[in-house]
Chain A
């Protein structure tokens, strides 16, 4: 009896460790390629420091890099995951410097620690290309590839203004407060609203990028008795939450909902007409552009300092073309 119990608990313990181990190895699989590099010296080796492999949108960005890497037979890319830990990312960049990679692609965990990583690479004369997240002092890096967050907010809001005919009550749904995307997208929204005297922000709250929280926030707003003509959300997940709450209350037809990101889920909502507007931030394009720039820099070719990958507006009219992108 005793023996059996011990045995079972051991098995359970083992299972759990395996669970963890599997989770870890999944994240490390790509870095296993490091070994190859010593054998084939001629290859251009690029170190790619990503903040979080688990992030959906970033995984599309990584896909963009991987796809482009496949077309470049003489290029090898080492991917590392900082698990959203800036400190870890710094040491990963240092490792790249030690390994003497030919160039580094950096998507910073945060914008505070990024300049130091750029300095490290510069000191070792290794080209460093910053992708997606912009910060003060980014001009010290070899190049920046990305989109301007504020433009997403502007583009999204302008389309909403167009639908509403330049007047109406706007509710803004923020992402996690204090993050760059939240600040800039909302700023873009408000810049546009300012231009229309008959349009004003009546409600503003945060749903922390989360669908369930977006739904709760929308439900609460619906109970506030305020008239809402449009919900402008910092991302699609919260927008979908808002749509679900509106649908349940039977008010979706009276309210225009707009998001950002153009995730596959969101595109389905655009297709069915429930989500009126979303903005496509070209994840694959940024990934590809970043890698392309890094390879050029590694080979000593001249590169542009700022490479803007434009946002693209997605509405029911052009949604099919974006649905295809994800397939």
Chain B
């Protein structure tokens, strides 16, 4: 048996070793996906000389802002162990309804915006209310909303796109302030607000608590039902916002818009480290996740990779990224 003294010495030595090792693993843990993103960017810049230009980088963020806005809402939903499959269809519904109020010389530009946001919020509140009151699984409820909202969008527009939008409305999706496209500004704004909401308010603490252990949250006196309605409402609101940005960007309300956006959004959240088991996830991570998808889309287009190969590569890169992330987590 070793003596007391030697044990103490060894412990001291290893303590400093632990902390530096720990620091490395913490950094890896926190910024692993960011490094993968940077790695992808470096790789792409070597492969395509035009990739690393301000114009193209802004372009990537602008393209991802619609999915990114949705992904932020979806992230919060997933943190509560929920899921929202209705985002894409809600985008379409908001798109046609908002567009019909955005014709030139009819209403001021904020009317379609408010109507769109309100409609998005309403769909989310309906989702949240049914999920929390009727105790139906989020997957089913939002699947229902996905179908119903798409149907409503087609019904409202008679299946046809709604064009002829006012210039002031188009500014949201096509304009720029100090050279920065408006969708990026909106995306960043949503990111900051959501970060604050999730990290600096009791709402955020409750979101994590509900996802960490819903039963324990109820016993700790959290009004779980109410906060679920908030969470889905917020996700719906952001889908509405995404719908407005999209509509303005393509100058047309499209009942077929946003198909599969919910899956891109979920992918962005999961790549960004959000756990489908709940309780884990960050806004920053999701933004990085969305950018990884954006960089891949853009880079593969720049390199003129065949559309067939693009799909395969995207699938592989997403899986590998999440795999590396999970390995790193396991090690620490």
Contact = CB atoms under 8 A, between A and B. Distances in A.
Given A12-B126, A177-B307, A217 B152 contact: no
A81 to B, nearest CB: 12
Interface stretch (B72-80, B101-109, B143-151, B191-199): B143-151
Contact of B159 (A9, A13, A22, A59): A59
User: For the complex, would chain A's binding face be called helix, strand, loop or mixed by DSSP majority?
Assistant: helix
Report the contact-size class of chain B (Cβ under 8 Å from the partner): 35 or more
A210 B246 CA distance: 12
B210 to A, nearest CB: 18
B66 interface: yes
Contacts, number: 124
Contacts of A211: 161, 250, 252, 254, 257
Given A217-B301, A219-B63, A223-B298, A212 B257 contact: yes
Interface in B109-158: 125-126, 129-130, 133-134, 144-145, 147-148, 151-152, 154-155, 158
A20 B301 contact: no
B301 A23 contact: no
A204 B306 contact: yes
Interface string A126-167: 000000000000000000000000000000000000000000
B144 A20 contact: yes
Contacts of B134: 9, 13
Interface stretch (B47-55, B213-221, B276-284, B321-329): B47-55
Name the prevailing secondary structure of the B interface residues. Answer: helix
B155 A26 contact: yes
Contacts of B51: 223
A5 interface: yes
Contacts of A37: none
B301 A54 contact: no
Interface of A: 5-6, 8-9, 12-13, 15-16, 19-20, 22-24, 26, 53-56, 59, 174, 177, 202-206, 208, 210-212, 215-217, 219-221, 223-226, 237, 240-241, 244, 248, 263-265, 268
29 contacts: A6-B133, A12-B126, A15-B126, A16-B145, A19-B152, A20-B144, A20-B148, A20-B151, A23-B148, A23-B151, A24-B151, A26-B155, A56-B161, A56-B256, A59-B159, A205-B301, A205-B310, A211-B250, A211-B252, A211-B254, A212-B66, A212-B249, A216-B297, A219-B63, A220-B63, A223-B53, A223-B302, A244-B251, A268-B163
The 3 closest A-B pairs by CB, nearest first: A23-B151, A220-B301, A206-B307
